[in-house]
Amino acid sequence: MATSVRSTNAMDSFWMPFTANRRFMEDPRIVKSAADMHYVTADGRKLLDGTAGLWCVNAGHARPKIVEAVSAAIAELDYAPSYQFGHPGAFELAGRIASVFPGDLNHVFFTNSGSESVDTALKIALAYHQSRGEGTRTRLIGRERAYHGVGFGGISVGGIATNRRHFGSLLAGVDHLPHTHAPEHNAYSRGMPEWGAHLADDLERMVALHDPSTIAAVIVEPMAGSAGVLPPPKGYLERLRAICDKYGILLIFDEVITAFGRVGAGSAAELLGVQPDLMATAKGLTSGTIPMGAVIADAKIYKSVTENSATPIEFFHGYTYSGHPVAVAAAMATLDIYAEEGLFQRAAELTPYFEDVAHNLRDLPNVIDIRNMGMVAGIELAPRPGAVGERGFEAMQMAFERGAMIRITADTIALSPPLIISKEQIDELFDLVAGVIRDLK
């Protein structure tokens, strides 16, 4: 018998990411199609998408404009290298992306995911300092509870213990700011909490400890998503920016979740008026349809790295699929939809309603905090004694059975629907979640 054709259970062969694999097989949750605000399950039930897939489908599912653009692109130019060759779409898209982001963020490096964008941004930061003759600046500063994807760079600056503890020594020379989760001060804050701007001052302590000449960059999510929805305390990001400026440290915003409308603007940087030097994006760039990420660099960074290079190739980094023509087409059509339908503005207009409806859940059993920013809400449930995450997991299962896809991080329910959601659908989503919370043990 041919050894290459092994009989396996088809379900067994897919090693699922960030999933309780054994538990999943006992009770699979399978979706087979999607359109606009809904998934359809394998057994034909409609599910309201409360999470925009994984915080990415900002324009809603299977939008014909994107489907058509992708189909046409793959027929015309299925693949083209971006190393030493180019195709027009990648240049045009880079310009369009640059126009979404504020200030001099106008040089775009294409990746295929948020994790790649983070690692790319960290490498650009190091290359920048080296290009200016400050090669001693190699230290990277992240933050506790941060999620920056799963590359070795990303988990090193990341601050989620489970994502780090199995993977050895990680990158050397990394330090972490304290996280900003402070329910004792900030529980049930509407939008950005009042307390906690001073937590940015820890950067001063790190500067004193390590010396600014060793520090390359600080990376933060303006709003932490995976950690359970943590909007920044008012004034916090401004303070980080000021301290970075004082010591010549680059500030990197990881806007993989927050860019492209999620917070009611093109980016959190624009919404909050705080300018990073580098921005990591992905997800909403193509509304999740085709994998693509982008790092947007400030002009001074691009200029220094390219003009001071001693070699013809200025930056030894890239991916086979950087600027992939099919992803470019998906991104272009997605940006068209965002503009034509004014979806960033729409998200801004829906935010107060979304916030009200979210905070209406505060008196339900086991709810211990509700946090929100833009079209994101986190509803934190008390963990069961000795079983952290079980209540959250059951909430997700029950919601699936009752007709909604929701996302959980331990016992925090995170809701981040496509930005095309109607007020009626917001009501429907939160009513369903309220029913689940009421019925949970």
Interface residue list for ligand PXG (CB under 6 A): 54-55, 113-115, 118, 147-149, 221, 225-226, 254, 256-257, 282, 407, 409
If the CB atoms of residues 304 and 354 are measured against ligand PXG, the closer one turns out to be 354
The arrangement of strands across the sheet holding 215-220 comes to 105-111, 293-298, 278-281, 250-254, 215-220, 139-143, 174-177
If the CB atoms of residues 73 and 282 are measured against ligand PXG, the closer one turns out to be 282
Q: Is 395 helix (H, G, I), strand (E, B) or coil?
A: helix
Q: What are phi and psi of 303, to 5 degrees?
A: -60, -50
Q: How far is the CB of 150 from ligand PXG (least distance, A)?
A: 6
78 secondary structure, DSSP code: S
d(CA 88, CA 72): 15
Residue nearest to ligand PXG (CB): 114
Q: How far is the CB of 376 from ligand PXG (least distance, A)?
A: 11
Q: How far is the CB of 254 from ligand PXG (least distance, A)?
A: 4
Q: How many other CB atoms are there within 10 angstroms of residue 431's CB atom?
A: 14
Please provide the distance, in angstroms rounded to a whole number, between the alpha carbons at the two ends of the chain.
52
DSSP string, 130-197: HHTT-TT--EEEEETT----SSHHHHHH---HHHHTTSTT-SSSEEEEPP---HHHHTT-SSS-SS-G
Q: How far is the CB of 434 from ligand PXG (least distance, A)?
A: 21
**Residues in CB range of 312: below 8 A, 6 or more apart:** none
Amino acid at residue number 161: A
If the CB atoms of residues 148 and 239 are measured against ligand PXG, the closer one turns out to be 148
Q: How far is the CB of 154 from ligand PXG (least distance, A)?
A: 6
Q: How far is the CB of 112 from ligand PXG (least distance, A)?
A: 8
d(CA 53, CA 125): 31
Q: How far is the CB of 145 from ligand PXG (least distance, A)?
A: 11
If the CB atoms of residues 256 and 421 are measured against ligand PXG, the closer one turns out to be 256
If the CB atoms of residues 118 and 295 are measured against ligand PXG, the closer one turns out to be 118
If the CB atoms of residues 157 and 206 are measured against ligand PXG, the closer one turns out to be 157
**Residues in CB range of 418: below 8 A, 6 or more apart:** 36, 37, 49, 52, 57, 58, 59, 60, 61
Handedness of CA 404, 228, 239, 136 (dihedral sign): negative
- Structural tokens at position 288: 């999740």
Q: How far is the CB of 267 from ligand PXG (least distance, A)?
A: 13
d(CA 365, CA 383): 12
d(CA 274, CA 269): 5
How crowded is the C-beta side of 18, counted as CA atoms within 13 Å?
Answer: 10
If the CB atoms of residues 250 and 268 are measured against ligand PXG, the closer one turns out to be 268
How crowded is the C-beta side of 196, counted as CA atoms within 13 Å?
Answer: 22
Q: How far is the CB of 132 from ligand PXG (least distance, A)?
A: 27
Q: How far is the CB of 114 from ligand PXG (least distance, A)?
A: 2
If the CB atoms of residues 100 and 219 are measured against ligand PXG, the closer one turns out to be 219
Q: In what helix (H) or strand (E) does residue 301 lie, and over which residues does it extend?
A: helix 299-307
If the CB atoms of residues 212 and 288 are measured against ligand PXG, the closer one turns out to be 288
- Structural tokens at position 82: 């971006």
If the CB atoms of residues 192 and 207 are measured against ligand PXG, the closer one turns out to be 192
If the CB atoms of residues 207 and 413 are measured against ligand PXG, the closer one turns out to be 413
Q: How far is the CB of 118 from ligand PXG (least distance, A)?
A: 5
